[in-house]
Amino acid sequence: MVRQERERRFISEYMLEMFPGGDFLLNVPLGPIPDYLLNAHGPQRAAAIYRPTRPRVDAVKWTADRYYVIEAKIREAKTGIGDLAFYRGLIANTPDLPFYAGQELVYRLVVPWSLDWVIASATENGIEVVVYWKDWIAEYVRERQNYFTQEYRDARAEKIRLRGLLGVD
pLDDT digits (tens, 9 = 90+) for 56-79: 999 999 999 999 999 999 989 999
- CATH topology for 6-134? Trna Endonuclease; Chain: A, domain 1 (3.40.1350)
Whole-Å CA distances, 95 to 5, 72, 100: 29, 24, 10
Q: What angle do CA 64, 31, 120 make, to 5 degrees?
A: 70
Q: What is the DSSP string of 26-80?
A: EEEE-S---HHHHHHHHHHHHHHHHGGGS-EEEEEEE-SSEEEEEEE-SS-HHHH
User: What is the pTM (predicted TM-score) of this model?
Assistant: 0.83
- 109-160 tens-digit pLDDT: 999 998 999 999 999 999 999 999 999 998 878 776 666 777 777 777 888 8
Query: What 3-state class would DSSP assign to 106?
Result: strand
Domain ranges of the chain: 6-134, 136-169
12 or 158: which leads in pLDDT: 12
Residue 30: the pLDDT is: 97
Res 146: pLDDT? 61
